[in-house]
Structure 1
């Protein structure tokens, strides 16, 4: 009896933590609040078309990881590496070009590591890349609103984040095994 109760409690906690949909309207309200961008903080970023290629390539890798497609993620990482390497810091309107250059180099390094066929290694590199990308885009600007999303269950419950062009949670760190685990932490909104 105790084991059954403990198991049921753990399942309930896991479902609540990851924002899984339920038919219970009370649970849906709580789930919606945890994944809803309106409860997230908002950061104003400069509008910039110069980062469009980087963002497009990053989102293509993210979508491949959401679909559990390591081959496509590896292939799309080449586009991301190219976009990062050709990004013109001098031509940008960034207020901190030295920090932007450091982030560009770091992001490129993580993006190059995505070229592996090991999806677990890709996801780990993608999560690290996402942290750098968020900081980079806050300085360089973006051409669209982006959502910083966070899954508390990633990497042994230490958590992991990524950026998305949509509020809806589609988790690239777990893919189909925990597709909707996560919440919007922050919105990068255009000035």
Structure 2
């Protein structure tokens, strides 16, 4: 019973954050972010134009964590340290409710505790790799997600991330190199 209450509380907190974080947008969805990382609403545009289709991971808890991950990615693209911390805290809370997600929670905690945006971006790589594995294992209930890669991230070591849009919006460099990267894989 205690676990169910904690799970419900964590989900409510995550969903509240998603709703509050999108307060100024014309169209809202709990399943995916319908804006690209430039802040423009493209909910009615064709998917090929770089918009998110309705994508939902089969596992409900993982889907809620992915929504926060999407907010985190957007915050990193926009170099917003405070919003990134909030999203990372929500990911950490969600990971605590999931099985086999301890590493995901620890990576999220590193991002939440980071003192600067560059440290957050460095920790984002581990978080992304873990989330990619979990999403692939769970599978998609609907829509598709994209695994993107930037070869220049982390001092040219390269790093991956998940996106709900085909258009590259690089969380590792933000506006310095917003479109640096390539789509490597589609998760369907």
1:77-97 Cα shifts (integer Å, max 9, x gaps) = 11111111112x4xxxxxxxx
State which of 104, 108, 111 in structure 2 corresponds to 1:111: 108
Q: Which has the higher contact order (CA 8 A, sep 6+)?
A: 1
Mapped to 1, the partners of 2:155 and 2:136 lie a distance apart of 28
Is 1:83 aligned to residue 83 of structure 2?
A: no
Is 1:171 aligned to residue 153 of structure 2?
A: no
Instruction: Please provide the CA RMSD for this pair.
Output: 2.1
1:10-55 Cα shifts (integer Å, max 9, x gaps) = xxxxxxxxxxxxxxxxxxxxxxxxxx99xxxxxxxx7333422111
- In structure 1, the residue matched to 2:37 is none
TM-score (norm 1): 0.65
Unmatched tracts of structure 1, length 5 or more: 1-35, 38-45, 90-100
State which of 95, 115, 118 in structure 2 corresponds to 1:120: 118
Runs (4 or more) in structure 1 with deviation over 4 Å come to none
Q: Report deviation, 1:141.
A: 2.8
Q: Report deviation, 1:133.
A: 0.7
Aligned residues: 133
State which of 43, 56, 64 in structure 2 corresponds to 1:53: 64
- In structure 2, the residue matched to 1:156 is 155
Would you tell me which structure has more helix in proportion to its own residues? 1
User: Equivalent residue of 1:149, what SS?
Assistant: strand
User: Equivalent residue of 1:114, what SS?
Assistant: helix
Mapped to 2, the partners of 1:142 and 1:72 lie a distance apart of 27
TM-score (norm 2): 0.66
Mapped to 2, the partners of 1:85 and 1:142 lie a distance apart of 21
Structure label with greater radius of gyration: 1
